[in-house]
Amino acid sequence: MRIAVAQSSSIRGNVSLNMENHLRFIRQASRLDVDYLVFPELSLSGYEPDLAKELAFIDNDPRLEPLVEAAIKYQISVGVGAPLQSEGLPKIGLILVHHTGAVDRYEKIHLHEGEEVFFGSGDKHHMFSLGQDTVANAICADTINPEHAEFCHKAGATIYIAGVLITPEGYGKDSKKWATYASEYGMVVAIANYSQPSGGLASSGKSAIWYKDNLLAQAGESGDALVLVDNRSGVWLGEVHEI
């Protein structure tokens, strides 16, 4: 079992070019035999709340076809960030494209202060089976609300993975919570952060993966990278690959 987070950047509102960048990461992840790859929050659009309504994805959105084709071709499951069309305000979403081509979605439950102006909140957690593991998906502020991780742990999650946009000012405090979840719950905790600013916000980078009391792998403060872990005979080992 091998999972990875993409430390990547996005161009404001340019879904087409952002898709090409996602495909670049997917190709590299496939060479590394990754089973599940997750991108930062709102990665297909960039973290651009003012554009969310205009760019929101519908079910079976034709813009997802390249991702579906790549997931099937490379036999990899991929979680990408995107605004999702919904009744009322759009949702901050994770679109999960399984290696079979099936498409699923998770809507962010916990919003940062100010996001409620542009987005509604979801109300359902999302988990799925991957080999012998159960993966729980999360998005940014979900991960700093301890009840989210606790719920996923109690529901049987062994991997807790999230796309985020975390600033340098927030990383220290937030990363302590992520490390605590890994230690207290015995889950693999993986965070995909931006490699460059988005939506006028600086990014700390440092996409990382923890397990139990250990930081297994962490990218630098900037620059594109794949941060991955794999389970070798019951032992989780981490690696960082610059892209």
Would you kindly state where each structural domain of the chain is located, as residue ranges? Answer: 2-242
pLDDT at 232 over 90: no
Mean pLDDT of 224-233: 94
pLDDT band at 24 (very low <50, low <70, confident <90, very high): very high
What's the rounded Cα separation, in Å, for the pair 211 and 87? 38
Mean pLDDT confidence for 39-61: 97
Q: Options 3.40.50.2000, 3.60.110.10, 2.30.42.10, 3.40.1280.10; which CATH number does 2-242 get?
A: 3.60.110.10
User: Cα 2–70–83 angle (5° rounding)?
Assistant: 90
pLDDT band at 233 (very low <50, low <70, confident <90, very high): confident
In this prediction, residues 31-60 reach a mean pLDDT of 97
Torsion sign (Cα): 149, 155, 158, 161: negative
CA distances from 143 to 34, 36, 100, 173, 228 (A): 23, 19, 28, 12, 19
Q: pLDDT of 111-134, one tens digit each?
A: 999 999 999 999 999 999 999 999
Determine what percent of the chain is predicted with pLDDT higher than 70. 100
